[in-house]
Amino acid sequence: MSLENVLNNWSKYRRGAEEGGHHDYEHKWAMMINLDLCIGCNACSTACYAENNLAVVGKDRFEKGQAMHWLRIERYWDQAEQEFPEQGASFLPMMCQQCNSATCEPVCPVAATYHTPDGLNAQVYNRCIGSRYCSNNCPFRVRYFNFYSYYESSWPEPLNMQLNPDLTVRDKGVMEKCTFCVQRIRVAKDKAKMENRKVGDEDFKPACVQSCPTSAMVFGDYLDEGSQVRKLWDKYQVKMGPAKQDKQEPDMRGYRVFEGLNTDPSVLYLERVREKV
C-alpha cells in the first residue's frame, strides 16, 4: 500500500541529491574531454550519427535549425578584436551533459525524462508527449525534437539497412538526445553480469569516445575508484555532486560548462592550452 510506503519511508523520500537521493547509484557514467587534444574533426559526431540512428534532416530543415546532431562541435573564435585568429579556433564537443541535478527532469509533465540508477539522464521516447519543456529548460540546448517523421525522408532504401537495431528510430513528436550510448552500456552490463564481474573501462566505449582520433575523450564509471575517468576527475580535482568546487590547486585545468548553474554535469572539460609565441 503506497500510503504505508509514504509513511514508512518519509524521511528517505525527502532526501535531495546532496544526500544521494532516494536510491544509491549503481554506476555514475562520466566523461572527460581534453579540449587541448580536440581538433574538431567531427569524427565523434559522425560516429554518433552511425550508432544512434540520427536523422539526416537536409539543407532546408537544417537552415530552420531543426538539425538532429546529438553531438555537435561548437567552434568559437576567441580573439574577436584581432584581425586574424592567431591562436586558432576553439572547438567544443557539446552533447548532453547528463547532469545529476538536471533541469530538464523536473519540468517534464509525464516523467518521460528521468534519472536512472546509472546516473544517466534518460529519455523515454514512448512516454514523451512532446511538450518540449525539457529542451526549453536545458542551458546547454542539447535536446533535439523530432519535428517531422524522419524515417520517411532520411533513410531511402536501402540506407535503412544501416539502422542500428539496438535502438529505435524516433517518430515525430518526441524529444531525443545523447544517451552516452545506453545500448552499449546495456550490452556491457549484461555481459559483465553473465561473467559475474563489474563493468570495466575496457568493456565498452560510447561511439564518440571510441572514434576520437586523438583520444581526447575518456569515458567510464565515476563510482569505480579504479576507472580511468575517475582518476582523471580526481587528478584535475573536480568533484561530482557538490555545488561548490574547491581545488587545492586553483590553476589546475578542468571545469564543467555552466558550473555556476549548479546542474552538476557529468562531463568534465579540460581547458585547451595555447603557447604565446
Partner 1 sequence: MSIVNEKDINEQIAWAKINADVLRSMANPRRAYWISVAMCLAMIACAVTAEVYQYTEGMGYANLNNPHMWDMYIATFVFWIGMSHSGTLLSAILHIIHADWRKPIYRFAEAMTTFSLMTAGFFPIIHLGRMWNMYWVLPYVSDRGHWPNFRSPLVWDAFAISTYLSASMLFLFVGMIPDLAICRDNAKGWQKKLYSVLSLGWTGTDRQWRNFRKTYMLMACFLIPLAVSVHSIVSSDFAMSIMPGWHVTTFPPYFVAGALYSGCAAIITLFVLLRYYFRFEEYMTKAIMEKTCKLTFAIAMVWTYLNLVEFASVWYGHDIYSKELLIAKAVGPYAWVFWSMIFCGSVLPFTLAFQSLRRNMPVMFVVSLFLNVGMFFERWMIVAPTLSMSHNPHQWDIMWGSIIEWAIVFGSFGWFGLLFLVFVKVFPSVSMYEVKEMVYHRRRHVVNDEAAEKFHRRASDSKTGTDEPGLEGA
Partner 2 sequence: MTGTINRRSFIKMMGWGGVGTALGGCDVPTTVTLEEGKEDVVSYLMPEEYVIPGVGVWYASTCTQCAAACGTQGRVREGRVLKMEGNPNSSVNSGKLCVMGQAGLQGHYNPDRIKEPMIRKNGSLSLVGWDQALATINDKLNAADGARVAWFTGTISGHQKVLLNALLESNGSSKHYVHEVVGNKVLQAVSRDMLGDAMPKYRFDKAKMILSFGADFLGSWMSSPVHFAGEYAKFRTNKPRGLLVAIEPKMTLTGGNADLWIPARPGTEAAIALAIANELINAHNKDAAILPESVRNLIGQHSAESVAKQTAVAADRIKRLAQLLNERSPSLVLAGAPVEGQTNGYAATAAIMLLNHLLGNIGQTIESPGAFAFAQLEATTGGTADLIAFTQNAKDKNLDVAFFYGTNPVYSAPDALKFGDALKNIGMKVAISQFMDETTAQADVILPAASYLEDWGTHVAAYHSEQPAISMQQPLMEKLYETTRGFGDVLLALLQNKNKDKYGQYADYYAYLRHAFSAMPASYKENPASEEHSWNAVLQKGVIKVQTTDESLSTSIAEIDTPTIPASDSAYPLTLVPSVRLGLWDGRHANLPWLQEAPDQIAKVVWDSWAEIHPSTAKKLGIEQGSIIKVSSKHGEVTLKAVLLKGLHPDVVAIPMGQGHTEYGRFAKGLGVNPLKILAPEQEQKTGELAMYATNVKITDTGKKDTVVKIGSTDTQMGRKLVGTVPVEQVRRTEGA
Partner 3 sequence: MKRYSIMALFGDFDEAFEAIAEIRHAAIPGITTDDITLKSPIEHPEIEEVLGERPVHIQKFTLGGALFGLIFGFFFLASAQATFLVQPQGGKPVIPLPSNFVLVYEMLIFFGVWITFFSFLFLSGLFRKPHPLYSEKVSLDQIGVLLEVDEDKMQPLKELFNKHKAVEIREGVIHQ
Residue 24 neighbours by CB under 8 Å, 6+ apart: 117
Judged by CB under 8 A, the residue of 4, 24, 83, 225 near partner 2 is: 83
- Chain CA centroid to CA 31, Å: 8
Contact pattern from residue 206 through residue 245 relative to partner 3, giving x for each residue in contact according to CB under 8 A and a dash for the rest: ----------------------------------------
Q: Report residue 261 as a C-alpha cell.
A: 548553474
| Of 172, 33, 12, 149, residue with least CA distance to 98 | 33
**Among residues 137 and 237, whose Cβ is nearest to partner 3?**
137
Residue 36 backbone zone (phi > 0: left; psi -120 to 50: alpha; other: beta): alpha
Judged by CB under 8 A, the stretch of 123-131, 194-202, 238-246, 248-256 that binds partner 2 is 248-256
9 binds, among partner 3, partner 2, partner 1, none (CB under 5 to 8 A by kind): partner 3
172 binds, among partner 1, partner 3, partner 2, none (CB under 5 to 8 A by kind): partner 1
What is the distance between the alpha carbons of residues 157 and 177, in angstroms, rounded to a whole number? 25
Judged by CB under 8 A, the residue of 27, 69, 115, 230 near partner 2 is: 69
H or E element in which residue 105 lies: helix 104-107
66 binds, among partner 2, partner 3, partner 1, none (CB under 5 to 8 A by kind): partner 1
Does the footprint of partner 2 cover residue 192 (CB under 8 A)? Answer: no
